[in-house]
A = this chain, B = another copy of it.
């Protein structure tokens, strides 16, 4: 691991000696790193090195086995942490029977939030113009991923936790993710992104966590 402290604002994620073990068998850690507003962090590692597991720990879906993690100054999974965090995992959490637009509305409703660009405009922005009323079931793998990206961008979250956001996306999609990340960081947000290194974010990475398999 390479601990890198970016700026002087209080860190959005702070891990101290953080580690996770399944049945006392280590998956990753101990890790020390911090990520502040305006920064993009990469989690790099080979298949099975624990990238997904680390993100789930930070989201509060798994409890760390040792060490501590603070997310937005609170326990991972606490209300404060949840309120300011948005997560995108291997499973996108879209309802296949509802349309792309309805899915976005639900995502916003769960955060009690009505952003100004609006869900319809956002769909256009992610390249799904004309697919707003299409049920998600009948979208291709990459199109589903784009709906999830649109939802992410609509939520009022300062911190993004993204698991392989580039998978299944074409070249335009990859650029889209990079643009979203840049804009998010410019607005003072932070993002933690897993990647295999083949495709990933390169400009302005403020912190890299390397996991060993």
Contact = CB atoms under 8 A, between A and B. Distances in A.
Interface in A141-177: 141-143, 145-146, 164, 166-174
Contacts of A199: 198-199
Contacts of A139: 48
B47 A168 contact: yes
A144 to B, nearest CB: 9
Nearest to A197: B171
Can you tell how many copies of this chain the complex includes?
A: 2
Interface string A181-212: 00000000000000011110000000000000
A113 B146 CA distance: 41
A90 B47 contact: no
B196 A47 contact: no
Interface of A: 45-49, 52, 90, 127, 139-143, 145-146, 164, 166-174, 196-199
23 contacts: A45-B170, A46-B170, A46-B171, A46-B172, A47-B127, A47-B142, A47-B143, A47-B145, A47-B168, A47-B169, A47-B172, A48-B139, A48-B140, A48-B143, A49-B140, A52-B141, A166-B198, A170-B197, A170-B198, A171-B198, A198-B198, A198-B199, A199-B199
